[in-house]
Amino acid sequence: MSLNYANSKITEEQYLQGELVAEFKHEFIDGEAYAMAGASESHNLLAGNILAELKNQLKGTPCRTFIADMKVKVANDFFYPDVMVVYQQDIAMDGVYAASQSGTGAANDFDYYKQSPVIIVEILSKSTRKFDKNAKRLKYQNISTLEEYVLIDQSIAEIEVFKKKEHWQAFYYYLGDAITFESLGVTVLVEDIYYQVNNDDVLAFLQEKNQTAVQDTNANPMQSPYPTIQKP
């Protein structure tokens, strides 16, 4: 999603209260709120696909998977990741922290943001590519609980995974590959993440896959289950 520039600085409390009634979502960066533009069809499909894969495989585990309407707090900034996963025990600790920071001692604000994600996913677009790959990545890497930062390109079929255990080195995945998110113990096919996304890479991959299937069928025609009867 692209950002529209802010006009003036506001406080964190003003931002959080404003988001409750705002017509459009805003990210809060260095004391300024930036309106977020709508996302494309491919953006929505990719976010929905990776959410579904993670949520299905994490069912029954102490993890919760959130999509773009949930904020993440990074120091004094707030972002709306496309997808993030938080461990249940970290959610509880976030609530304790939110209550301690609230003048009323309540954790209500915590219902609208998290602070301890283990994995964050962003879908790249032309307008946010540079920010997501650089400034936002560096901010996210300061989250103590974060283990993997995932960037999914919508214009080409390429996924970039930055791993904390590898000193935030980037690893690249393409159609035909499988990605193991080690922090979650989950493996997802790149093909499944790009399901129904019709960019040139995906269309070429599917065409080649179909051609291979036809060739395999022609090379190995289905045998009859009945024995051949030889005439005397």
83 CB-near residues (< 8 Å, 6+ apart)? 47, 50, 51, 54, 65, 66, 67, 68, 120, 121
Tell me which residue has tokens 């060739």. Answer: 215
Q: Contact at 8 Å (CB) between 79 and 58?
A: no
H or E segment to which residue 10 belongs: none
Q: 181: which 2 tokens?
A: 């998110």
> Which residues is 189 bridged to in the sheet?
178
Q: What is the mean pLDDT of the chain?
A: 88
pLDDT in tens, 108-147: 567 899 999 999 999 999 888 999 999 999 999 999 999 9
- CATH dotted code for 40-206: 3.90.1570.10
Q: Contact at 8 Å (CB) between 99 and 106?
A: yes
- Confidence band for 95, pLDDT divided at 50, 70 and 90: low
Q: 121: which 2 tokens?
A: 């996913």
pLDDT in tens, 165-186: 999 999 999 999 999 999 999 9
Residue 227 has pLDDT above 90, yes or no: no
* The pLDDT of residue 93: 59
* The pLDDT of residue 114: 95
Chain centre distance of CA 169: 18
* The pLDDT of residue 127: 87
pLDDT in tens, 32-71: 999 998 899 999 999 999 999 999 999 999 999 999 999 9
24 or 7, which is more confident: 24
Q: 223: which 2 tokens?
A: 């045998």
* The pLDDT of residue 214: 85
